[in-house]
Amino acid sequence: MTYCVGMRIDRGLIFMSDTRTNAGLDNISTFSKMRSWSIPGERVIVLLSAGNLATTQSVASLLEERMKAPGDRHPSLFEAPSMFQIARMVGETVKEVIAVSAKGGQNADAFGASFILGGQIKGGQPRLFYIYPEGNFIECSADTPFFQIGEHKYGKPILVRAYKAEMSFEDATKLLLVSFDSTLKANLSVGLPLDMQIYEADSLQLGEKHRFTASDPYYQTVSQSWSIALQSALDQLPPFSFDK
Amino acid sequence: MTYCVGMRIDRGLIFMSDTRTNAGLDNISTFSKMRSWSIPGERVIVLLSAGNLATTQSVASLLEERMKAPGDRHPSLFEAPSMFQIARMVGETVKEVIAVSAKGGQNADAFGASFILGGQIKGGQPRLFYIYPEGNFIECSADTPFFQIGEHKYGKPILVRAYKAEMSFEDATKLLLVSFDSTLKANLSVGLPLDMQIYEADSLQLGEKHRFTASDPYYQTVSQSWSIALQSALDQLPPFSFDK
């Protein structure tokens, strides 16, 4: 499995993804699930992926190859006029890859993959999309300001409760790490290290990138302190009284 | 869906279950998923169920009918010599119900149901079991002191972090309510009211029972205060620093 989050805040976009892939318990590997492309001053594109690794790698490879072969009939990530067009392009590429994979009569579901796409193109706003294995997609909104793909349930409650549009990137990083740590503690198929990418609105260049390993001091602080903080939060609530 | 938890603490057993059942979004009903039987001073049995409602109701009905027909070749819940034998009996009944349901050639998976069984029989210890749709079962241990069935992921992180064997029933109730509230807030298929049942070790009688409705003042306190407490717990953690 996988756990990835893309979140829109007033200051821009923030992305986090784990790196564990598995095909059975005895076939565990580390692959980054975060890819980014940019033309500084013109466009920034970040893509997170979950699902069949062969599918997600093929999608990324096709998108990259088409950027290098300008004669190709497909438009490229660097030519598309809007983030919406890029979402369509990723969606079409997913459909294409899955269709080819399932040609042998296999069930297309086995090749499924989901994506979170975010970025900004000069003249537009920062935008964030969730792309389904079927190739269609939805865009985040003020009501749904973040998308999760993969093993999303364990880490959702804290996001729902603590997300604020006006939060800083520092606080957003903390929130995402807590959400990831809850997931890591509950599900072995999500694993360290974690990749994080910041995009500051209107900067039109990739912001800070950070890889949190198990030995990362900030990750250790969050992971250890959160249990204590959570326990003290629970202690603050009054216990149930059976005399009522 | 459903969310049920059975938890063993030093002081005994505590059970909580939601009451929402659905067969599609436009067919939502309220059914208790908690059943209990007792002979005060001799035995106490509590059963929580998740899965196909027809299956879980049939299992409970068969168990009850067999208690009233002593000539039946099946032993009854009130005759079985140990909680282990009761777990086997429930397991056999589940298998039987599913086998009958799937006789028409349907896929047995569609009739699946899981159970949490807890209780104590005079001369034995309080015991807690997880019974699979296949009819086999596992027992809780010091390493795995609680079982969840149904929509268990949202509410797991807080249980993992805050469970303590030595906690009071008052604190255990609070912990379970927080776990349920996280699930209710994240998943529409889990719904109020919540049923709770306490069993004090060696009391050999059913303890306090409580139904938490949306207007229950303690439930409201927990639900409202937990967001604030969680936010303040998050505030206690240092924000990430990009200068590192």
Q: Does B241 reach chain A within 8 Å, measured CB to CB?
A: yes
Q: Does B107 reach chain A within 8 Å, measured CB to CB?
A: no
- Per DSSP, the residues of A2-52 read -EEEEEEETTEEEEEE--EEESSTT-EEE---EEEEEETTTEEEEEEEEE-
Instruction: Report, as an integer, the average pLDDT of A49-60.
Output: 95
Look at residue A23 and tell me whether its pLDDT is greater than 80. no
Give the nearest partner residue to A161 out of B170, B230, B240, using CB atoms: B230
Taking only the tens place, the pLDDT of each residue in B124-137 is 999 999 999 999 99
Look at residue A71 and tell me whether its pLDDT is greater than 80. no
Task: With CB atoms and an 8 Å threshold, state whether B186 touches A232.
Answer: no
Cα angle: A38, vertex A44, A48; to 5 degrees: 100
pLDDT, position A70:
67
Instruction: Dihedral sign for Cα B20, B23, B28, B32, please.
Output: negative
Look at residue A244 and tell me whether its pLDDT is greater than 70. no
Phi-psi region of A128 (alpha: psi -120 to 50; beta: other; left: phi over 0): beta
Instruction: Report, as an integer, the average pLDDT of B164-168.
Output: 96
Q: Does B159 reach chain A within 8 Å, measured CB to CB?
A: no
Give the nearest partner residue to B234 out of A155, A175, A238, using CB atoms: A175
Residues of A in contact with B9 (CB under 8 A): none
Percentage of chain A exceeding pLDDT 70: 98
Taking only the tens place, the pLDDT of each residue in B220-240 is 999 999 989 989 999 999 999
Residues of A in contact with B230 (CB under 8 A): 158, 161-162, 230, 233
Name the closest residue on chain B to residue A232, using Cα atoms: B233
Phi-psi region of A175 (alpha: psi -120 to 50; beta: other; left: phi over 0): alpha
DSSP class of B103? G
For chain B, the average pLDDT equals 93
Q: Does A154 reach chain B within 8 Å, measured CB to CB?
A: yes
Nearest-neighbour CA in chain A from B189: distance (Å): 14
Q: Determine the residue among A240, A241, A242, A244 to mutate to test chain B binding: the one whose Cβ has the most chain B Cβ atoms within 10 Å.
A: A240
- Looking at mean pLDDT, say which of A20-34, B67-81, B121-135 comes out highest: B121-135
Distance CA A6, CA A47 (A): 9
Distance CA A81, CA A83 (A): 7
pLDDT category at B69 given cuts 50, 70, 90 is: confident
pLDDT, position B244:
52
* Cβ–Cβ under 8 Å, residues A90 and A47: yes
pLDDT, position B73:
67
Q: Within 13 Å and on the Cβ side, how many CA atoms surround A172? A: 26
Look at residue B9 and tell me whether its pLDDT is greater than 60. yes
Task: With CB atoms and an 8 Å threshold, state whether B236 touches A218.
Answer: no
pLDDT, position B108:
87
Min mean pLDDT across A214-218, B44-48, B66-70 is at B66-70
Give the nearest partner residue to A162 out of B178, B230, B239, using CB atoms: B230
Q: Which residue has the higher pLDDT, B34 or A26?
A: B34
Instruction: Report, as an integer, the average pLDDT of A154-181.
Output: 95
Instruction: Report, as an integer, the average pLDDT of A60-75.
Output: 82
User: Number of CB pairs < 8 Å for A and B?
Assistant: 128
pLDDT category at B72 given cuts 50, 70, 90 is: low
Look at residue A15 and tell me whether its pLDDT is greater than 80. yes
Give the nearest partner residue to A239 out of B174, B208, B232, using CB atoms: B174
Distance CA A22, CA A53 (A): 9
Q: For A74, phi and psi rounded to 5 degrees? A: -80, 140
Task: With CB atoms and an 8 Å threshold, state whether B239 touches A177.
Answer: no
Domains and CATH numbers, chain A: 3-234 (3.60.20.10)
Look at residue B213 and tell me whether its pLDDT is greater than 70. yes
pLDDT category at B159 given cuts 50, 70, 90 is: very high
Distance CA B196, CA B140 (A): 19
Place of tokens 């290098």: A68
List the structure tokens of A150: 């993969």
Nearest CA to A115 out of A38, A29, A5 is that of: A5
Instruction: Dihedral sign for Cα A16, A21, A25, A28, please.
Output: negative
Task: With CB atoms and an 8 Å threshold, state whether A182 touches B208.
Answer: no
Distance CA A24, CA B150 (A): 24
Residues of A in contact with B197 (CB under 8 A): none
Q: Does B158 reach chain A within 8 Å, measured CB to CB?
A: yes
Min mean pLDDT across A110-114, A192-196, B23-27, B89-93 is at B23-27
* Cβ–Cβ under 8 Å, residues A15 and A48: yes
Look at residue A132 and tell me whether its pLDDT is greater than 70. yes
DSSP class of B108? G
Name the closest residue on chain B to residue A219, using Cα atoms: B240
For chain A, the average pLDDT equals 93
Q: Does A178 reach chain B within 8 Å, measured CB to CB?
A: yes
pLDDT category at A67 given cuts 50, 70, 90 is: confident
Residues of A in contact with B157 (CB under 8 A): 154-155, 157, 182, 185-186
pLDDT, position B188:
87
Give the nearest partner residue to B218 out of A153, A210, A240, using CB atoms: A240
pLDDT, position A111:
93
Q: Which residue has the higher pLDDT, B186 or B218?
A: B218
Question: Which residues neighbour B58 within 8 Å (Cβ) at sequence distance 6 or greater?
Answer: B97, B101
Task: With CB atoms and an 8 Å threshold, state whether B226 touches A244.
Answer: no
Instruction: Report, as an integer, the average pLDDT of A210-238.
Output: 93
Residues of A in contact with B158 (CB under 8 A): 230, 234
pLDDT, position A188:
87
* Cβ–Cβ under 8 Å, residues A3 and A148: yes
Residues of A in contact with B239 (CB under 8 A): 168, 170-171, 173-174
Nearest CA to B63 out of B75, B48, B81, B51 is that of: B75
Distance CA A72, CA B27 (A): 51
Instruction: Dihedral sign for Cα A154, A156, A162, A163, please.
Output: positive
Distance, C-alpha B212 to centroid of its chain: 15
- Per DSSP, the residues of A97-141 read HHHHHGGGS--GGGG-EEEEEEEEETTS--EEEEE-TTS-EEE--
Percentage of chain B exceeding pLDDT 90: 82
Distance CA B35, CA B205 (A): 14
Instruction: Report, as an integer, the average pLDDT of B141-148.
Output: 95
Cα angle: B92, vertex B93, B95; to 5 degrees: 65
